[in-house]
Amino acid sequence: MTSLAHPASTIGRVFEHRFLQYRRTFRSSIFSSFLSPVLFLTAMGLGLGAYVSDSSAVGGVSYLVFLAPGLLAATAMQTGSSEASFPIMGGLVWNKIFHAMYATPISPRDIALGNLAWIAARLTLIATTFTIVIVLFGAAESPLIVLAIPAAILTGMAFAGPMAAFAATQKTPNRFASIFRFGITPLFLFSGTFFPISSLPAALQAFAWLTPLFHGVALTRGLSLGTITDDPFAAAIHVIYLTTLATVGAWLTIRNFQRRLVRG
């Protein structure tokens, strides 16, 4: 009889499958994860930033320095939510590979966790590349920028967890378009990435404060500018908020994978 392995290794096998799929597009993916921040920082940071004359509004630094860490967090949000939407639903509905996995000793829990681990790995790659580009642009003010990598990964997972939990309940991709259009895109624009939320009307400021991207941007920016040490309490709130979302999302993802696979 075949003996059973430790759960950590069964999660690893799910991860391995996702890696095998990714290997096909590895080169173009690496290239675009490098190119995308270069283009954004050039066009918006340097190009558009040249017109931003009032540096006091953005913390007394150049617009490029202000923008770069915000874009890092926003990119992590977009990667986390897109990697957790179509690929999760697709594995359950389109090619049914998660059903194939469940026919083996791998449990629904491990399938869910293996996928989340894969998304974390993708985020690590993208956040690291992005951070290197920021440093190359001379847009990092503090060595703490290194910690912006885990902060961005956490931000991405705060979106990936709930998104994966939702995707695991869907039979078609129809609702993803609305989520991106009415959820992710507004967050991208109004969570402090491009301008401080203090420029928003008071009601919207309160709303922005509730959105996860705001906390992600606050963390990465605080680390890149080195201002995070000014208010450790706020930093702790950001981390707790994002960690809670990521954890609850992961828990719901496991539960929804169980519901979907055990029976369906």
Partner 1 sequence: MPETPPTSLIHARGLTKRFGGFVAVDAIDFDVARGESFGFLGPNGAGKTSTMRMIGCVSPISDGTLRVMGMNPATHGPQIRANLGVVPQQDTLDLELTVRENLAIYGRYFGLSRAEVGRRADELLEFAQLTERANDQVEPLSGGMKRRLTIARSLINEPTVLLLDEPTTGLDPQARHLLWDRLYRLKQRGVTLVLTTHYMDEAEQLCDRLVVMDKARIVAEGSPRELIERYSTREVTELRFAPGIAETLDGQLEGIAERVEHLPDRILLYAEDGEAAAVEVHQRGLKPETVLVRRSSLEDVFLRLTGRSLID
Instruction: By CB under 8 A, name the binding residues for partner 1.
Output: 1-5, 9-10, 13, 16-17, 20-21, 24, 95-97, 99-107, 261-263
Q: In the block, which residue shows the tokens 């990092």?
A: 140
| Closest approach of partner 1 to the CB of residue 17, in Å | 5
User: How big is the CA angle at 226 (ends 208 and 207), to the nearest 5 degrees?
Assistant: 5
Q: What are phi and psi of 140, to 5 degrees?
A: -100, 130
Q: How far is CA 106 from the centre of its chain?
A: 26
| Closest approach of partner 1 to the CB of residue 19, in Å | 10
Long-range contacts at 3-11 (CB < 8 A, ≥ 24 apart): 4/105, 5/105, 7/107, 7/109, 7/110, 10/105, 10/106, 10/107, 10/110, 10/114, 11/110, 11/113, 11/114, 11/117
| Closest approach of partner 1 to the CB of residue 122, in Å | 16
Measured from the CB atom, the residue of 119 and 223 that comes closer to partner 1 is 119
| Closest approach of partner 1 to the CB of residue 263, in Å | 6
Measured from the CB atom, the residue of 2 and 172 that comes closer to partner 1 is 2
| Closest approach of partner 1 to the CB of residue 92, in Å | 11
Measured from the CB atom, the residue of 107 and 220 that comes closer to partner 1 is 107
Measured from the CB atom, the residue of 2 and 56 that comes closer to partner 1 is 2
Measured from the CB atom, the residue of 91 and 162 that comes closer to partner 1 is 91
CA distance 44 to 78: 18
